[in-house]
Amino acid sequence: MPRKIDKADAVPLKQKVAYGIGGMTENLGASITQNMFNPIYNIALGISPAILGVALMIFRFWDAIADPVMGNISDNARTRFGRRKPFIVIGGILTGICFPLLWQAQPTWSEPVIIAYCITAGLLFYTSFTIWAMPYYSLGMEMTPDYDERTRVIAFRAFFSKFTGLISGWLLALISLPFFSSKIDGAPDILKGMQFAGWIIGGVIISVAILPGIFATERYYKKDASKQQKVPLIKSLKETIKCKPYAIIIAIVVIQTLGYSLVGSLGLYLNIYYVNAGDLQAASLIEGLKATAKFLPSLLSVPLWAWLTERIGKTRALGLTLILGMAANCMIYFAYTPDHPYLQIVPHILMSAFGFGLWMIVPSMQADIVDYDELQSGQRREGAYSAVFSWALKMSGTISAGIGGMVIVLSGFDIKKYGGDQPQHVLETMLVWYAFLPLFFCGVALFLLRAYPLDRQRMHEIRGELEARRGRI
């Protein structure tokens, strides 16, 4: 049986559900944007992957600037509604409005105009998303002081995100339907389909993004955070970066993410051009089936990881997610084959079910680190920690986005020259990179995890010291 949480530390179910549903914003907005960016702008509009890689670098670079600023603004905000909630509501509405604008480029425009529009719309979208995201992630760190209840709160976020993963997985198939085609031969028109779907998704984003800002509670605001001195941006960032446990977690997540991001876009290309010989509709169907097949196992993995984390601790559970994710990645090399197109679904089921635990455990560990920092500095700075974490991820994303576009080009892939009949050696190179490059990065992350010091016992000691100093909240 799970450990019983003290009633004073427990987060009411209504708040957990509101916070969890709000997390769907990330997958509906940022994740769909990342997944659909190359198909729309490369396959549908013909823009070079190298140029798109530069555009993604610009977005990530802007994020890397905007996130720390927004995190500091949120930490220093003093309103009658709290530090986080007003920004969550405003940012959620803006994100929903800006999302569909990203897909409104027209094939009749010149290439420079398409690129300029893409960058402008992308900057508007990512700015809006930052206004929502930094306060939202910060809110998750301050909803409970309990070591295990923190993981349970994040589990609700992980649970609801699985539903949007299902939507995302079928999106390419849906926008490839003949309903959206204006071509004489009925060929898929994914640009037109995405333009239509974008408005619907934008409305859903607004409806879910604002819920945490309405129903969740900022536990530390009235009694503690509202009375603390405001911290300048640069000083806050310096103090955050110097936190040793945080530096370890940042390094682990950045290294792991970098390994997968460098080759992440290759999966869809391999499905379309290697497994399905350029048949976009067949590949789209498999992408949808892939999302469906991994939905239930990944959904069940949420309570499994919550249960396992309470028994073996967050550090060991995080290590296990890395190991199991590596094993699943190795299977990719054998599962992506034209002889058995649907076999590729198997490693993604395992990768989703086991690898996703990382994104459930790490946010809970961040909340522990904020307590550790409060013991050292006397301040609650959830926004700074959310911002630095996001900044580190997005700077690595900036690098991997640029290199990732070049990876496609360096492999020899050329949509204009070869169309759906890409050379065999090009596709085989892409497969090797996609399957094995992430393993090295995950191995380094596992090595660094050995130095992480905040286990359950240490966190109980820290909480006792904090409550002795400022009382229980």
**For position 402, what pLDDT does the model report?**
65
CA 27 to chain centre: 7
Segment 244-260 shows an average pLDDT of: 90
2 occurs within a structural domain? no
pLDDT score of 225: 64
Length in residues, the chain? 473
Residue 192 counted as domain residue: yes
pLDDT band of residue 73 (cuts 50, 70, 90) is very high
Q: Which domain holds residue 178?
A: 13-217+233-470
Is 442 a domain residue? yes
| Residue 84: predicted pLDDT | 93
Mean pLDDT of the chain: 88
Q: Is 6 within a domain?
A: no
Does residue 121 carry a pLDDT above 90?
yes
- pLDDT bucket at 234, cuts 50 / 70 / 90: confident
Tens-digit pLDDT profile for residues 459-473: 999 999 998 987 777
Beta strands in 266-403 (DSSP E): none
**pLDDT category of residue 108 using cuts at 50, 70 and 90:** very high
Q: Check pLDDT > 70 for residue 397.
A: no
How far apart, in whole angstroms, are the C-alpha atoms of residue 266 and residue 403?
A: 12
pLDDT at 162 over 70: yes
The reply to whether 120 falls in a domain is yes
Is residue 223 included in any domain, yes or no? no
Q: What pLDDT sits at residue 348?
A: 87
Q: What is the pLDDT, as a whole number, of residue 236?
A: 81
Q: How far apart are CA 247 and CA 448, in angstroms?
A: 10
Q: What is the DSSP letter of 75?
A: H
Cβ contacts of residue 121 below 8 Å, gap of 6+? 98, 101, 102, 104
Q: How many domains does the chain have?
A: 1
CA distance 283 to 264: 16
CATH number at residue 393: 1.20.1250.20
State mean pLDDT over 416-422.
Answer: 78
Around Cβ 203, how many Cβ atoms within 10 Å? Answer: 13
Angle between the N-to-C axes of helices 111-141 and 49-76, in degrees from 0 to 180, rounded to the nearest 10: 30
Confidence of residue 44 (pLDDT cuts 50, 70, 90): confident
Cα 189 from Cα 179, distance rounded (Å): 9
pLDDT tens per residue, range 370-392: 999 999 888 888 988 988 888 88
CA 83 to chain centre: 23
**Which residues lie closer than 8 Å to 118 by C-beta, 6 or more apart?**
41, 47, 55, 102, 105
Mean local confidence (pLDDT), 272-289: 87
pLDDT at 226: 65
CA 248, distance to chain mean position in Å, is 19
For residue 284, being part of any structural domain is answered with: yes
Let me know if residue 228 belongs to a domain. no
**Helix (H), strand (E) at residue 364:** helix 357-377
pLDDT above 60 (res 1): no
Is the pLDDT at 398 greater than 80? The verdict is: no
**Which token pair is 134?**
């930094």
What was the pLDDT predicted at 309? Answer: 92
**Helices and strands, number each (H, E), in the chain:** 20, 0
Please indicate whether residue 233 or residue 373 has the higher confidence score (pLDDT): 373
In tens, the pLDDT along 34-43 reads 888 988 998 8
Residue 408 or residue 211, greater confidence: 211
What token pair was written down for 106? Answer: 């027209």
Predicted local confidence at residue 185, as pLDDT: 65
pLDDT in tens, 200-226: 999 999 999 999 999 998 887 777 666
